[in-house]
């Protein structure tokens, strides 16, 4: 399976700190994406990084991709209470977009 696996499963940090989540996958991919899910609601796309890219930024988000290690990381800088959510990586190969089980991020006031 090419399913991504996020690490850690859960993360609690103080507001203002940076949060880092990792994703590992098993097979070659076309691109990798990160999504956010607030409790019980639909996932929201955050950022997409293509297999030939190594790093991408979007606002307070920074994503890296290491295809040799089949891994990606999502960094959220200067975290806010509103960042509390579950974060999923999704690997895209051909027409299948496969999600990992997610990292639950909790921002403490």
Partner 1 sequence: DSGVTQTPKHLITATGQRVTLRCSPRSGDLSVYWYQQSLDQGLQFLIQYYNGEERAKGNILERFSAQQFPDLHSELNLSSLELGDSALYFCASSRGPSSTPLHFGNGTRLTVT
- Give the interface segment with partner 1, choosing from 14-22, 27-35, 57-65, 71-79 (CB under 8 A): 27-35
Residues in contact with 94: Cβ distance below 8 Å, sequence separation at least 6, in sequence order = 30
Please list every residue from 79 through 98 that binds partner 1, using CB under 8 A: 88, 90, 92, 94-98
Shortest distance, position 95 Cβ to partner 1, whole Å: 4
59 binds partner 1, rule: CB under 8 A: no
State the Cα–Cα distance between residues 15 and 109, nearest whole angstrom: 6
Shortest distance, position 105 Cβ to partner 1, whole Å: 16
57 binds partner 1, rule: CB under 8 A: no
DSSP 17-74: S-EEEEEE-SS--SEEEEEEE-TTS--EEEEEEETT-SEEEETTEEEEEETTTTEEEE
Query: What does the binding site for partner 1 look like in residue numbers (CB under 8 A)?
Result: 30-31, 33, 35, 40-45, 48, 88, 90, 92, 94-102
């Amino acid at each position: 399976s090419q399913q991504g696996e996020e690490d850690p499963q859960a993360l609690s940090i103080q507001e203002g700190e940076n949060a880092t989540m990792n994703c590992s996958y098993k097979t070659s991919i076309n691109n990798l994406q990160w999504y956010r899910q607030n409790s019980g609601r639909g996932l929201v796309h955050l950022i997409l990084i293509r297999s030939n890219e190594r790093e991408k930024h979007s606002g307070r988000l920074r994503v890296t991709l290491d295809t040799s290690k089949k891994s990606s990381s999502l960094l959220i800088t200067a975290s806010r209470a509103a960042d509390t959510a579950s974060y999923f990586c999704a690997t895209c190969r051909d027409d299948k977009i496969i999600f990992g089980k997610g990292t639950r991020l909790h921002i403490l006031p």
